[in-house]
């Protein structure tokens, strides 16, 4: 089994405003940088290779965590929310009404206007997982909420209808195990890396 430790990037101004970020390249906020600076990676992960989403908020997080020589992995980019990026989910629900409710009820096939579905996110992550399994070297990946949810869904069979069985916390790592055939399973969720518990 290959170990994969996922870290969600620190907060941005859009995080604070509850706006859908998706592919929009928003940097960390000052508060986000301060928060990430308080996170501490366990020494047990010293031998892990680091990768990051190409988006600035993920790369800044990796840099603040003193990740050495991290690689950019394009397939870790956040889910594409298309024309909805910059908008708030609450307002989309109010504006689109029943259409939005029906869309959200599709779970893995939920599709933002001009964007991609969680299932499409899984489809781009699956070959990456197979590559990690073939290399058999542990990895820390700095990515996004949508990526972690898609991985969790792959690992557990959660269909993304309704609330997730786990709420992924800031300042935490989520550990997955990858079998030789690329199948992923949950190891540990919400392992704190924050100085303040």
Whole-angstrom Cα distance, residue 102 to residue 104?
A: 6
Distances (CA, A) of 111 to 48, 53, 107, 184, 197: 34, 21, 9, 24, 36
Instruction: Give the range of the structural domain holding residue 129, as residue numbers without chain letter.
Output: 2-192
The secondary element (H helix, E strand) that includes residue 184 is strand 184-192
Prediction pTM value:
0.93
Find out whether 1 and 61 touch, Cβ atoms under 8 Å: no
Condensed to tens digits (0 to 9), the pLDDT of residues 31-62 reads 999 999 999 999 989 999 999 999 999 999 99
- pLDDT (0 to 100) of residue 109: 98
Whether 102 is covered by a domain: the verdict is yes
Whether 115 is covered by a domain: the verdict is yes
- pLDDT (0 to 100) of residue 170: 84
**Is the pLDDT confidence value at 196 over 60?**
no
Whether 197 is covered by a domain: the verdict is no
CATH of the domain at 72: 3.40.50.1240
Condensed to tens digits (0 to 9), the pLDDT of residues 62-74 reads 999 998 889 999 9
- pLDDT (0 to 100) of residue 197: 44
> Total structural domains in the chain?
1
């Amino acid at each position: 089994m290959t170990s994969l430790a996922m870290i969600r990037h620190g907060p941005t101004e859009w995080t604070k405003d509850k706006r859908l970020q998706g592919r929009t390249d928003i940097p960390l906020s000052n508060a986000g940088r301060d928060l990430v600076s308080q996170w501490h990676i366990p020494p047990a992960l010293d031998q892990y290779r680091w990768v990051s989403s190409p988006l600035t908020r993920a790369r800044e997080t990796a840099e603040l965590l003193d990740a050495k020589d991290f690689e950019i992995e394009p397939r870790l980019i956040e889910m594409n929310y298309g024309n909805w990026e910059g908008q708030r989910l609450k307002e989309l629900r109010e504006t689109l009404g029943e259409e939005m409710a029906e869309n959200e009820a599709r779970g893995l096939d939920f599709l933002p206007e001009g964007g991609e579905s969680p299932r499409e996110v899984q489809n781009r992550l699956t070959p990456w997982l197979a590559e990690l399994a073939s290399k058999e070297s542990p990895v820390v990946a700095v990515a996004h909420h949508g990526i972690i949810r898609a991985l969790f869904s792959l690992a557990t069979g959660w269909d993304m209808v309704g609330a997730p069985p786990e709420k992924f916390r800031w300042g935490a790592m989520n550990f997955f195990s990858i079998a030789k055939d690329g199948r992923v399973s949950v190891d540990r969720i919400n392992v704190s890396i924050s100085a303040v518990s």
